[in-house]
Chain A
């Protein structure tokens, strides 16, 4: 179990770094969504299914959706 937690944590760190180094907001929505998925894995590994579900819904779905819409709005206005 410790190995699974370690792998999931490392994946989360990698995904988080990817978000920081993604400069275009639209692409950032995708990497942020991946970060949400990796965090979901961490919470599953830590046996916290309730938090995992919230993480999956908010960080992997709703927040990227809002960012995509806002990025598109800003692009269109320019």
Chain B
């Protein structure tokens, strides 16, 4: 796979404060990559540098084989800003028609494009009358114009209801299948978990983790939680066997390191006459995310 976006050793500071330090990453064609991080971790700054809106202090960036902000890069990159804003006096159709003309795309497809994001009925109404979610969809529609090779989406699903979010990720799947590279930032960890190929975690301007969720999970080596429910009256027996467990009503809550998971399970199954139920709870994405973003002294 060819790399559509390559960043190496990117550094940017604002007035002496490092917004990004020595960040390297690449996004390949057809790949969906999620960028995670706290507010102020440097996500938006990095996106603006990729788009050529602000200049980097040092480091090399290649966007579709060009420098960020070059005419050729801009013609192949689509951007969805956080809180997409448009002129309130224009209709959705006029706004999209304008963006299509700027990209040299026949504006006849404007209505179809708005229909793809679920705005067919509102196309001829002024954007001033739209809800936040509808404005976000206008933003999404403009990012789909002209088959971009790289999509840079800054919190694309903020303001969207759960159904629209699902529709949105389906659109992304289609784009990625057609070979577009997608870099998106999000706070909604559970949704990027299922819908992206790779996660990047930025913390305090540094890249603290990178990989698939499985990779990150094993790298973090967070303890596994087990919830054991005792048969009637056997709770004290179980507590005696697992003195470190926390008792929760009839059940026990215990944790163990990843490598001891099977051994612990074996010990529990030895007591199968006393155990009513067993649940294994792997560390959640939130746990993994907190682990990586705190590791850096955040």
Task: Please determine whether chains A and B interact with each other in the same assembly.
Answer: no
Residues of chain A at the chain B interface (Cβ within 8 Å): none
Residues of chain B at the chain A interface (Cβ within 8 Å): none
